[in-house]
Amino acid sequence: MSASRVVEGPGFRIRYDNEPGYLRAHVFDGTDSLEVSTAMWRMLGDACRAQAATRLLVVEELLATVDIPDIDAVVDVQVEAGFAAIRVAFVELCDDIQGSELAQILGSEQGLTNRVFSNEDDARRWLLYGS
């Protein structure tokens, strides 16, 4: 594993780690909103392209959540950011499973391969070995 690097986003930070077989991104130090989520997914897409990563483990540790009516917009940004070509395991640490699961469903309808988890070990297994 290489050294961690922390990137400042608008209202949050992302700590990136290159792990064997995937890129790990820990999103922290902020409060979620439509603006934060769209910026986060754009930054994650840029990082995946820069690293040629086809697998991404996102560990989100943000306060609050995106409003349910705004989930469609977040998924649209994921599609625009190129996530149709990236397998994404998303770990929700702050208990917004309902919104994250809705995003998973909507994303799969648009060709995304993503799955929501409440713990990192399960997410890592699915990311590397799951179908």
CATH of residue 122: 3.30.750.24
**pTM for the model:** 0.94
Task: Look over the chain and give the mean of its residue pLDDT values, rounded to a whole number.
Answer: 94
Amino acid of residue 80: E
**What is the structure's pLDDT at 130?**
79
CB 60 within 8 Å of CB 29: no
Comparing C-alpha atoms, which of 19, 123, 29 is closest to residue 10? 29
pLDDT digits (tens, 9 = 90+) for 27-58: 999 999 999 999 999 999 999 999 999 999 99
Structural domain of residue 96, as residue ranges? 5-129
Count structural domains, the chain: 1
